[in-house]
A = this chain, B = another copy of it.
Amino acid sequence: MYITKPTNVEIDEVTELFTQYLENNGYRKTPERYAILTEIYERNDHFDVEILFKHMKTCDMHVSKATVYNTLDLLTQCNLVAKHNFDGHVARYEKCHGVINHDHLICTEYGKTIEFSDNRIKSVTVELALHTDMEIHGHELIVHGRCKDCRTNQAHSPI
């Protein structure tokens, strides 16, 4: 079991991958799509649509919310972005190219998120495939907790 950190990836690398995905599937290479990709890869958090949409407003490139949803779908499909449902309320997203498989420990109170990786989770899913008629595609482990800062009422911000 070890704690993992967001990795910095070259924008050029993911841009190239996105371009290939768009070309291979007959999608258009619009400036809006690249602007969103760039913004996402400059972030290190688990953002939702609203956060991303507001940040895009401050960029030189104006992007509508419909386009944000559309582009997030494309990026999710080509594995450049991962979508999560931490609380069943809003969907959260994170960049995921070149990122090690990880799960999330979330402070219920303030949303602080810690990423971790543990081989035992994968082992469980492999074993599950043996015991059932299911073909396993993936998993999502969400651990809920309360961070020290919340317990002591200190000022802090989510990661």
Contacts and interface: CB of A to CB of B under 8 A. Distances in A.
Which of A2, A118, A134, A146 counts the most B-chain CB atoms under 10 A from its CB?
A134
A125 to B, nearest CB: 5
A83 to B, nearest CB: 8
A114 B132 contact: yes
Contacts of A2: 131
A114 B135 CA distance: 12
A142 interface: yes
Interface in A80-138: 85, 87-88, 91, 105, 107-108, 114, 116, 118, 120-121, 123-125, 127-129, 131-138
A139 to B, nearest CB: 4
Contacts of A141: 121, 124, 139-142
A151 interface: yes
A155 interface: no
A143 B147 CA distance: 26
Contact of A151 (B120, B135, B136): B135
Contact of A3 (B125, B131, B137, B140): B131
Q: Point out which of A2, A127, A132 has the most chain B C-beta atoms below 10 A from its C-beta.
A: A132
B140 A145 contact: no
A108 B147 CA distance: 33
A135 B146 contact: yes
A144 interface: yes
A28 interface: no
Closest 5 CB pairs of A and B: A85-B88, A133-B148, A134-B145, A120-B120, A139-B143
